[in-house]
Chains A and B, each alone.
Chain A
Amino acid sequence: MADFWQQVVAGLASGSIYASLALALVLIHRATGVINFAQGEMATFSTYIAWALTTNYGWSYWPAFAVTLLASFAGGVAIHQGIIRPNEKGSVLRVVIVTIGLLLALNGLVTLIWSGEVRAMQSPFPTRTIDIAGVAISIQDIGTIGVVLATVVALWALFQYTKVGLAMRAAAVNPAEARLVGVRVTWMLSLGWGLAAVLGAISGMLAAPSLFLDPNLMAALLIYAFAAAVLGGIDSPIGAVVGGLTLGVGLNLIGAYVDFVGADLRLPAALAVILVVLLVKPSGIFGKSEVKRV
């Protein structure tokens, strides 16, 4: 029985990491209507910045963390203003191609600057494990779930209770009308990209201590993050968290107890989840169904 709970705990740990990246995807989609294929690579790049600051330049963790978040925010805004905005007026395809180009360029840039070698990343949390009835629970994983939940609360507060949040929602849902009431739509979209970049950076810095840092850190996670976001509802931060945790635990249990699936079909299983959800309830568990106006 302890084995079952161990798989559940392991699943919650992986799931919280999926959730953290899913939050970035959800934020970008909610704020700008775009699916950003480069989200993972942006997060990887940010994590490498944090790594370089702490390892190569000997900074201590929290100042490096803060600077990384600032740099990521600036980067996200710059990317939106410089690369995405000029392509927004065209078809959706142009934006997709541009985010793909960004994915390639960032992934290559990370390898070019820091090489493909595996690195260790410091964790903000102690690495101790506590043992409860034969199940090992790591403080780091509890910390990760804590940060993810805190982020969800912060996002929710932002969108529900602040003027900026309201402006961002307006800019995403109906840019033309938002402009009429004085919302600076372009800057709201850039703000969305900046915040999503920050969330991505946080996700990377949560993942790297246990998954270890190499250029493909987030690439492997991106699919799971998409699955989590779709499962929970691509516009819902709470959905991203519920989706991520459910996915993590679900995949672990299926992989452990259903022999047909095993380890090699974990990824297709996650993708089957995406497909089934998209077909049965495209708006996900917590999403609102889109009503198309004719």
Chain B
Amino acid sequence: MTRRIAFALTALVLTLATGVTAALAGPARSSADPGVTPTSILLGTTSPLSGSASAYASVARGADAYFKYVNGRGGVNGRKIVDTIVDDAYNPAQTVQATRQLVEQDKVFAVFNGLGTEQNLAVRDYLNAQKVPQLFAASGATVFGTEAGKYPYTIGLQPSYQAEGWVLGKYLARTQGAAKVAVLFQNDDYGKDLLNGLKKGIERSRVRIAAAQPYEVTASDVQAQVAKLRSSGANVFAVLATPKFAIQAYVYANKLGWKPKLSLTNAVSSASNIMQLASEGGTNKVVEGSVSIVFLKDPTDPKWKKDAAMKLYRSIMKRYAPSANANDVYHVYGMAAAWTAVEAIRRAGKDLTRDGLVKVVSTMNLSGNPFLLPGIGLKTGPGDHFPIEQMVLQRWHKGAWKSFGGIWGYRTA
């Protein structure tokens, strides 16, 4: 008799223990749209705080620091912005559960700045069905802009990977004659999107892709791929990779004695501190003359040392994220996203609704984002669901980036 009771009681206690914590979940909000009170706006962000992509957690951290700064100056339309960050370990299944938590338990007004292509794709249908804005998804996947008709609540921010690849391709087409390109690319949607853009950019020119080698994110090194690319006889080396692999590629190409006429790299890996590592104290010959695209101000680029916006950036980091590394450019991206969110929310008015916010971000024309390069604006409208489509080319010369050629724009067909 007692055994049965003890057994049943233990099972009961276990289930109730977790149930009780449930009952103590946040209070129900009675205003028109969840997540908005007279004094606050609640946003939710999924971010890889653990796992192999934790380097990208800086994106959410930078945005959070900016919101705190804005709150310290009175907030937006009298409301303070609170951004709840939830770990998804870069696993889309976790992103689904974390997003459900943000929407159904924390009752956020909007999901903002979620990191990762697959991660955002996994929750896109759900968020649109629930009519919750998927604001400024931190991914350059082209589909976040091209499928606005089907998914009106979803919008990206950064230039699409395809646009990036296209600009680099067009640069090759215009300046490199009959070049042969060897491409190292990450074997996922990110890398493939970049490669597709590159191919589009070199269409109808004499540039050809001589070889393309993929690598997995789980790889330990890319030496085999670089060796194979070198043997293709190409004279242009395109490194469409994430930082660690990009550095390895440059260093290994140099080790092999490969001297391509030109090397290219994409934005994610172009931060100055990463290029410094690749340049091996100036001895790396492959890195010298490398061309890349940029749309953010790079905190380790000496030309922004006296820049007012960068000074602001550093002071915000110092005050609101003192243990973080301010040289990490992903923080700057986060702040650029947060700035845009603040402006959009401000324009959506005191009577803040989800649909109202979606309307604002779908037809916006903002300039003056201090974290973007001068002249780069945020523009969307009917048929154009890509906020940032402008980039600048830059060349790595003697340990620093030098921009050239003015602002390139791209309209996704």
Contacts and interface: CB of A to CB of B under 8 A. Distances in A.
**Are A and B in contact, CB atoms below 8 Å, in the complex?**
yes
Interface in B250-297: 251-252, 255-257, 273-274, 277, 280, 283
B325 A115 contact: yes
A263 interface: yes
Contacts, number: 106
A224 B252 contact: no
A7 B214 contact: no
A127 B256 CA distance: 12
B384 to A, nearest CB: 34
Contacts of B274: 118
Contact of B243 (A17, A118, A127, A264): A118
Contacts of B23: none
B129 interface: no
Contacts of A216: 52
Nearest to A222: B220
Contact of B255 (A17, A108, A136): A136
B62 to A, nearest CB: 13
Interface residues of B, number: 40
Contact of B218 (A115, A214, A251, A267): A267
B187 A264 contact: yes
A138 B255 contact: yes
Interface stretch (A8-16, A77-85, A230-238): A8-16
Given A262-B214, A263-B216, A267-B218, A116 B224 contact: no
A290 interface: no
Could you say which of B50, B223, B280 has the most chain A C-beta atoms within 10 Å of its C-beta? B223
Contacts of A118: 55, 243-244, 247, 274, 277
Given A118-B274, A212-B248, A267 B216 contact: yes
B228 A211 contact: no
B277 A120 contact: yes
A198 B23 CA distance: 50
B328 interface: yes
B33 interface: no
Contacts of B257: 129, 131, 136
Contacts of B365: none
Interface string A242-268: 000000000110011000001110110
Nearest to B231: A3
A263 B227 contact: no
A219 B54 CA distance: 14
B225 interface: yes
Contact of B221 (A210, A264, A267): A210
B328 A215 contact: no
A162 interface: no
For the complex, would chain B's binding face be called helix, strand, loop or mixed by DSSP majority? helix
Contacts of B248: 210-212
B247 A212 contact: yes
A251 B219 CA distance: 12
A256 B224 contact: yes
B55 A7 contact: no
Contacts of B224: 7, 10-11, 14, 251-252, 255-256, 263, 266
A263 B187 contact: yes
B220 A221 contact: yes
A186 B227 CA distance: 48
Given A3-B231, A118-B274, A264-B214, A214 B256 contact: no
B220 A14 contact: yes
B255 A129 contact: yes
Given A6-B256, A211-B220, 6 more contacts: A116-B56, A120-B277, A127-B255, A224-B220, A263-B213, A263-B215
Interface of B: 50, 52-57, 187, 213-216, 218-221, 223-225, 227-228, 230-231, 243-244, 247-248, 251-252, 255-257, 273-274, 277, 280, 283, 324-325, 328
Sorted nearest first, the 4 A-B pairs with minimum C-beta distance are A116-B55, A220-B220, A3-B231, A116-B54
Interface of A: 2-3, 6-7, 10-11, 13-14, 17, 108, 111, 115-120, 127, 129, 131, 136, 138, 210-212, 214-216, 219-221, 224, 251-252, 255-256, 262-264, 266-267
18 contacts: A6-B256, A7-B227, A7-B228, A10-B224, A13-B223, A108-B50, A115-B55, A115-B325, A116-B54, A116-B55, A117-B325, A120-B247, A210-B251, A212-B251, A220-B220, A224-B220, A264-B187, A266-B224
